[in-house]
Structure 1
Amino acid sequence: MTTRYYIRLPNPDQARGNDPDLSFRSRGAEGFAEELQQALRDDTLFLRWQARQEEPDDVDPALSATDPAARVTGQQDDLHIDLIVDTRLSSALLRQRMALLAGSHWQLRDVTAA
């Protein structure tokens, strides 16, 4: 079942994780959407994160799950950016990817069936 997540980046300039090599690089809505979509569709971000762990082989393989059909759209609205995410991945995995990309500088506004 696909779930739709409504995410807000209240201050896009601050939407960066703790590790610059894993964080969002974009400045605009389309770029943020594209980066998040890629992070959900393939395991590139996960593999980069895993390599930085003290014991990479001990990382739960379930965290590497992907959704090749995930879709993310972004829209600039005044000073914030709204992202709409359609994915089959669990909310825990979405939160993990958002934490890597944006740190704590994002808000989950709503969740619905897609």
Structure 2
Amino acid sequence: MARNHYYLSIADLAHARGGDPRFAWDGAGPDGFAAALQQALRDDGLFRRWRAVQPDPDAVNTSLGICDPAAQVTAQVADLRTDVDLLTDLPMSVVRHRLYLLIGSAWQLRDMRAA
């Protein structure tokens, strides 16, 4: 797989939450979010917990559970938003799923480039 840089922005990180509190990020700062997202991409713990509560866990697409142990995430406040730089070989479908679990639709993909 090719490594990519995903550049994201989050308008209001302090209030960004996923729809289900069992999986939602509960921090406030960019460093904490970067650590939570990095962990969610490096191992399948978040995916396994989400899958376990689905009506038919065996029917869940297992490709959503792939991980990148070398994923790197940094986040910093810029203007009135939080900018996130994510370096991974995971496809956007996996990144999107983990982001939705953590912070819902509070993020925007600003750019993607080959690493």
Instruction: Kindly state the Cα deviation for residue 79 of structure 1 after the two structures are TM-superposed.
Output: 2.8
Q: Which runs of 5+ in 1 are unaligned?
A: none
Instruction: Kindly state the Cα deviation for residue 78 of structure 1 after the two structures are TM-superposed.
Output: 3.2
Amino acid corresponding to residue 99 of structure 1 in structure 2: Y
Q: 1:71-110, aligned counterparts within 5 Å?
A: 71-110=72-111
CA deviation string 1:39-83 (max 9, x = no partner): 000000001110110011111111110000000001112331111
Q: 1:26-41, aligned counterparts within 5 Å?
A: 26-41=27-42
Runs of 4+, deviation exceeding 2 Å: none
CA–CA distance in structure 1, aligned partners of residues 19 and 104 of structure 2:
6
Find the residue that maps to 2:58 and give its secondary structure: helix
Find the residue that maps to 1:48 and give its secondary structure: helix
CA–CA distance in structure 2, aligned partners of residues 49 and 79 of structure 1:
31
**Aligned residue for 1:43?**
44
Please, what is the CA RMSD of the aligned residues?
A: 0.9
Residue 23 of structure 1 pairs with residue 36 of structure 2: no
Q: Which runs of 5+ in 2 are unaligned?
A: none
- Worse-matched range after superposition: 66-75 or 76-85: 76-85
Question: Could you tell me the percent identity over the aligned residues?
Answer: 47
**Aligned residue for 2:55?**
54
The answer to whether the Cα contact below 8 Å between 2:15 and 2:28 also exists between their aligned partners in 1 is no
Instruction: Give the TM-score, by structure 1 length.
Output: 0.96
Instruction: Give the TM-score, by structure 2 length.
Output: 0.95
Find the residue that maps to 1:13 and give its secondary structure: helix
CA–CA distance in structure 1, aligned partners of residues 83 and 46 of structure 2:
21
Alignment: residue pair count: 114
